[in-house]
Amino acid sequence: MKNVYFDNAATTQMRDEVMTSIIDVMRNNYGNASSSHSFGRSSKSLIEQSRKTIAQYLNVSAGEIVFTSGGTEADNLILRSAVRDLGIKHIITSKIEHHAVLHTIEQLKQEYGILVSYVNLETNGDIDYLHLETLLQTENKTLVSLMHVNNEIGNILDMQRVSNLCQVNKTLFHSDAVQSIGHYKMDLQEIPIDFMVASAHKFHGPKGVGFAFIRKNSGLQPVIFGGEQERGLRAGTESVHNISGIEKALKSACDNLNKEADYVKELKRYFINRIVNEIPKVAFNGNSGDLNKSTYTLVNVCLPISPKKGAMLLFQLDLKGIACSKGSACQSGSSQNSHVLTEILSDADLQKPSIRFSFSIYNTKEEVDYVIDVLKEFIE
């Protein structure tokens, strides 16, 4: 039995250089960054250097990067403050967003009575841009929240198009880019977006740290209160080693982006070709089977298996040492179908098992072969 990790959309293996950097900071830069002595100043300097590095890769100013505990906190900060402090009365989103966005918006609707509109979806999971344009015709102060890359089916949002629509309609635009930052080049001067979030553990960095990009002079206020850390937007003693880790992880990802993206894209292409040849009745959910219309990091397949047999599939794959998922890791404890697939699949296809396989630079074609062979043996 091999051990194959094909669940990189859930979390990724840390790079060696990131672990080295984190350990070095924990050993030598343990001062509280809010302290005025040399130990504190040393930690503060590392944080600001990390902020500057990340800002450079996104082509924004350092003051527009706010460190958080991850994507969920960053989404909450932006959405909650937008309603509470910026006077947002209307949020436009989709029903296939990450739960960090959907559940926050549902809570805001209960608390503040805001209007929530869900943009229509095409059968492949893409948003209906014409419907979005219609929804933007409103007198309410509005914010659009749409993810860049869908974490389950890999569909890619046309960020430029949505940004332009929002600008024309004087609407704020927030995007959860947790599945894309570190995997795609981002120039936020070219894309006039207001808010974006990222999480280090999705691009070979540590868990427990992420950041929010908040366009300067946005007017957002903190949702966690305490000290004046992060320019007053996020109280709490900074996790200096993790912040150093996210800087190192993003630097490695961006500096090696073209080479590593080509490698992972070839793995996905190889996986698609093999599974189509070995399991002819396999179907691909969303755009995930199209290399030109989906992220290169994942594929979501619907397998030709009965519901009864399909119920045992993940368990059997786990017994064979294969890690993958039926949807987002955040809902893995749920017995319900993926909320994303529920929106785009027929009732008949929802009865079949759908599995997400997600790839990284640490995977190989030999691992793909092993997984396809195990799948084929199980199905037959």
pLDDT at 326: 85
pLDDT (tens digit, 9 = 90+) per residue, 173-226?
A: 999 999 999 999 999 999 999 999 999 999 999 999 999 999 999 999 999 999
Task: Assess whether 61 and 208 both reside in one domain.
Answer: yes
Ranges of H-type helices in 59-140: 71-86, 99-112, 129-135
Task: Assess whether 290 and 242 both reside in one domain.
Answer: no
Of 212, 236, 255, the residue at which a domain comes to its end is 255
Yes or no: say if 265 and 299 are a contact pair by the CB < 8 Å rule.
no
Q: How far apart are CA 293 and CA 125, in angstroms?
A: 11
Task: Assess whether 264 and 240 both reside in one domain.
Answer: no
Annotation says 254 is catalytic? no
Dihedral, CA of residue 233, residue 236, residue 238 and residue 243, to nearest 10: -60
Which amino acid is located at 220 in the chain? L
Task: Assess whether 106 and 64 both reside in one domain.
Answer: yes
Task: Assess whether 285 and 232 both reside in one domain.
Answer: no
Task: Assess whether 128 and 45 both reside in one domain.
Answer: yes
State the residue range of the domain holding 315: 4-12+257-379
CATH number of the structural domain spanning residue 240: 3.40.640.10
Of 198, 228, 255, the residue at which a domain comes to its end is 255
pLDDT (tens digit, 9 = 90+) per residue, 36-74?
A: 999 999 999 999 999 999 999 999 999 999 999 999 999
Task: Assess whether 302 and 280 both reside in one domain.
Answer: yes
Domains held by the chain: number: 2
pLDDT (tens digit, 9 = 90+) per residue, 366-378?
A: 999 999 999 999 9
Task: Assess whether 86 and 181 both reside in one domain.
Answer: yes
Point out the catalytic residue in the list 166, 254, 324, 330: 330
Q: How far apart are CA 203 and CA 209, in angstroms?
A: 12
pLDDT at 265: 98
> Whole-model pTM?
0.95
Of 255, 283, 301, the residue at which a domain comes to its end is 255
Q: How far apart are CA 199 and CA 141, in angstroms?
A: 28
How long a stretch of residues is the chain?
380
Which amino acid is located at 324 in the chain? C
Q: How confident is the model at residue 333 (pLDDT cuts 50, 70, 90)?
A: very low
Task: Assess whether 206 and 350 both reside in one domain.
Answer: no
